[in-house]
A and B are shown apart, each in its own frame.
Chain A
């Protein structure tokens, strides 16, 4: 804008200067020419008077021309007879000159009886001249005076030079003054433009000042601009805060979360998902498909299904993570914003619940199997009895004994399962009471004496004085003792030993050790024998009437009293079961 105003002013000024200069020049030039004519006329009149006074022609011409000089050059005087013959010329030889009757100035002087004037090139001198001629009827002569046109012209040429210099100087002055003035006027606009640029580049703190100072028409504009910048800065700040907040929330979410587009391109991955899949890429920096993160084609299928149904879709998938393959419940929910279909994928770790589920169904299968085995046997023998064996008393008695044993095992199994589920339900024992542990151990030894002596096994309780009175449910502790000691007897060699130690540990817990002299337990089985229905040797265990739940019950009771149960054993060197109880 500055430039356009500048150019416009410049054009106006140039036109004005040229117009005024030109008109001044022409006025002065015509004035100048009038002066020259009067000058020549005066000279001619003087010569005419001198001639009328009777002065000789040469004298008169010389005198006058010596007086009328311009720029050191005398004027030319020519006397011409009415017939056109030149009678005198002070610049050249008159006899040599041609007839002048038809020269324009002479013709005009003869015809009008007034002064004739002409400006033309002299044929005699060969240069541009100004001529003036007057006719005197008394002398019957035409007096002509002339000067060189160059001299005439140099007069107004110098004027022209002056004019041009003045015009040039004033133009320069105007350029400078105009520029400064314009800059002063447009300064607020320039500032506004710069401020707008700053805002565009993201500096929302900029404000314009000079617009407001001078109370001009631009003040309102300045105020409006500042208000806009303030508003913009507030909006941007609010947006940034909201963005940061959303970012922090999404990234702090413990649930892995990914947003993907219809094209399967990833739009957003929260930090948890980045860590889980060990892929730390920013979707704002680069384009990549979902499968690069999840490594599971089904996650992309979920996106398609979710967008097709326009409703959340969920599926259980085994996905490779930094912690190895794990089970996830992957849910895809559609979201829609700015006209684009996106899908939020969330990943819920269900490995643990799947594991639990597996354990539960395994347990049910085991229980069913364990219950069916004695039942099948019982039914088999009953069937045999029905088909006639009942009539053979010896056989029938033996069968009834077997049925009794199996029924007993069934009973034992069911009561074990009940005990186990009862203990599992409990978080702490509410039936705690003080009782004498030594007495209880003695009771158990007496109780199991029959089985032990039948296999010639000796039981050796070694009791520490510090571990006599304990606070627990005597019923449960008895269960632990029976299970451990019975096992130690059953899985022992004939004539072996079962040692029972109790002592108080430094951490205040009670340690119960039951050591046998049996075949020992292989390392890979040591952990597993505490699992439900786990048997090292299935057939042998059944033969011995075990339910497969004994050690599991021991372990759970130990846990109920804030303790642990473990085994130390080497093949061929017996086994030691160690139970720690906070009682």
Chain B
């Protein structure tokens, strides 16, 4: 009886996390769209949505702690709950970065000169988006290979980031009028790079849950 109740609580908790993931995903989608169109209104919405996600994180965190206190789970169940606690922190950080990106977009729009967004920034945005999607899919299906795929994708983002950094620095040296915009763009790139790192973390927590131990991917 107790076990059945526990399973139910755990299942509901997972659904809440998936919901939170969907919200974070939508934030990223909107932020990327706002970046593509340089649309400040859309960016404002992303920033407003961040509070909703923070609240979701607090709620899930509370539920987690409550379940641990009441049911005193062991072994696999405990692992499930602790990885959940870690995972939602990463999801929340991703949403924060989406909000940061939106702030940068608004800042860019406030500057006088219009600039063209380099295509690679849209690419790094798309890859980060894909990583988050992959990590969530891996979480939903508890799929090891999907999680590993996400972890592999992070290298691509790192590569794109260093390439973009060089390119933007080059642009700054030749286009002194738009240095401010270019700095904002560089920050946006950094945020996407951070988002992909957090997506990788989510994938790692999924793997930790499946396998019961931490993988070292730095080798």
A292 touches B29 (CB 8 A): no
| Cα of A320 to Cα of B27 in the assembled complex, Å | 11
| Cα of A356 to Cα of B102 in the assembled complex, Å | 31
User: Which positions 10-52 of chain B face chain A at CB distance < 8 Å?
Assistant: 11, 14-15, 18-19, 21-23, 25-26, 29-30, 33, 36
A289 touches B22 (CB 8 A): yes
B33 touches A324 (CB 8 A): yes
Contacts of B36 in A (CB 8 A): 324
B133 touches A278 (CB 8 A): yes
| Cα of A342 to Cα of B19 in the assembled complex, Å | 20
B140 touches A281 (CB 8 A): yes
* A289 in contact with B15 given A295-B25, A295-B26, A295-B29 (CB within 8 Å): yes
A287 touches B11 (CB 8 A): yes
B11 touches A292 (CB 8 A): no
| Cα of A513 to Cα of B33 in the assembled complex, Å | 41
B25 touches A288 (CB 8 A): no
Q: Which of B11, B21, B26 has the most CB of A within 10 A?
A: B26
* A288 in contact with B33 given A278-B133, A295-B22, A320-B26 (CB within 8 Å): no
* A292 in contact with B33 given A278-B133, A287-B15, A320-B26 (CB within 8 Å): no
- Kindly state whether residue B157 has any CB partner on chain A within 8 Å: no
A279 touches B26 (CB 8 A): no
Contacts of B22 in A (CB 8 A): 289, 291-292, 295
B141 touches A291 (CB 8 A): no
B19 touches A286 (CB 8 A): no
Contact with B along A289-318 (1 / 0, CB 8 A): 101100110000000000000000000000
- Kindly state whether residue A325 has any CB partner on chain B within 8 Å: yes
| Cα of A3 to Cα of B143 in the assembled complex, Å | 48
Contacts of B29 in A (CB 8 A): 295, 320
| Cα of A217 to Cα of B203 in the assembled complex, Å | 63
- Kindly state whether residue A200 has any CB partner on chain B within 8 Å: no
Q: Which of B22, B25, B30, B142 has the most CB of A within 10 A?
A: B22
Contact with A along B185-205 (1 / 0, CB 8 A): 000000000000000000000
- Contacts A281-B141, A289-B22, A291-B19 known; 20 new A-B pairs at CB < 8 A: A279-B133, A279-B137, A281-B137, A282-B141, A285-B141, A287-B14, A287-B15, A287-B140, A288-B140, A291-B22, A292-B18, A292-B22, A292-B25, A292-B136, A292-B140, A295-B22, A296-B26, A320-B29, A320-B30, A324-B33
| Cα of A279 to Cα of B133 in the assembled complex, Å | 8
User: Which positions 132-172 of chain B face chain A at CB distance < 8 Å?
Assistant: 133, 136-137, 140-142
Q: Pick the residue among A282, A289, A296, A320 that contacts B18 (CB under 8 A).
A: A289
- Would you list the 6 A-B pairs with minimal beta carbon distance, nearest first? A295-B26, A292-B22, A286-B141, A291-B22, A286-B140, A320-B29
* A288 in contact with B18 given A279-B137, A281-B141, A295-B25 (CB within 8 Å): yes
Contact with B along A274-285 (1 / 0, CB 8 A): 000011111001
Query: How near does chain A come to B96, taking the closest CB pair, in angstroms?
Result: 19
| 16 A–B contacts from the bound complex (CB under 8 Å) | A280-B137, A281-B137, A281-B140, A285-B141, A286-B140, A286-B142, A287-B14, A287-B140, A289-B15, A289-B18, A292-B21, A292-B22, A292-B25, A295-B22, A320-B30, A324-B36
| Cα of A289 to Cα of B17 in the assembled complex, Å | 10
Q: Which of A279, A282, A296 has the most CB of B within 10 A?
A: A279
Smallest CB-CB separation from A296: which chain B residue? B26
Contacts of A289 in B (CB 8 A): 15, 18-19, 22
Query: How near does chain A come to B27, taking the closest CB pair, in angstroms?
Result: 10
| Cα of A289 to Cα of B26 in the assembled complex, Å | 14
Query: How near does chain A come to B75, taking the closest CB pair, in angstroms?
Result: 22
| Cα of A144 to Cα of B35 in the assembled complex, Å | 134
| Cα of A47 to Cα of B148 in the assembled complex, Å | 113
| Cα of A266 to Cα of B115 in the assembled complex, Å | 42
Query: How near does chain A come to B32, taking the closest CB pair, in angstroms?
Result: 9
Query: How near does chain A come to B191, taking the closest CB pair, in angstroms?
Result: 19
Contact with B along A480-520 (1 / 0, CB 8 A): 00000000000000000000000000000000000000000
Smallest CB-CB separation from B29: which chain A residue? A320
Query: How near does chain B come to A319, taking the closest CB pair, in angstroms?
Result: 10
| Cα of A265 to Cα of B11 in the assembled complex, Å | 12
Contacts of B26 in A (CB 8 A): 295-296, 320
| Cα of A324 to Cα of B30 in the assembled complex, Å | 9
Contacts of A288 in B (CB 8 A): 15, 18, 140
Query: How near does chain B come to A345, taking the closest CB pair, in angstroms?
Result: 15
Smallest CB-CB separation from A324: which chain B residue? B33
Contacts of A285 in B (CB 8 A): 141
Contacts of A282 in B (CB 8 A): 141
User: Which positions 223-276 of chain A face chain B at CB distance < 8 Å?
Assistant: 265
Q: Pick the residue among B19, B21, B33 that contacts A320 (CB under 8 A).
A: B33
Contacts of B133 in A (CB 8 A): 278-279
| Cα of A292 to Cα of B22 in the assembled complex, Å | 5
| Cα of A295 to Cα of B133 in the assembled complex, Å | 12
Contacts of B30 in A (CB 8 A): 320
Contacts of B141 in A (CB 8 A): 281-282, 285-286
| Cα of A324 to Cα of B33 in the assembled complex, Å | 7
| Cα of A529 to Cα of B31 in the assembled complex, Å | 32
| Cα of A289 to Cα of B140 in the assembled complex, Å | 10
Query: How near does chain B come to A452, taking the closest CB pair, in angstroms?
Result: 39
| Cα of A413 to Cα of B120 in the assembled complex, Å | 48
Contacts of A278 in B (CB 8 A): 133
Contacts of A286 in B (CB 8 A): 140-142
Contacts of B136 in A (CB 8 A): 292
Query: How near does chain A come to B123, taking the closest CB pair, in angstroms?
Result: 15
Query: How near does chain A come to B16, taking the closest CB pair, in angstroms?
Result: 9
Query: How near does chain B come to A1, taking the closest CB pair, in angstroms?
Result: 38
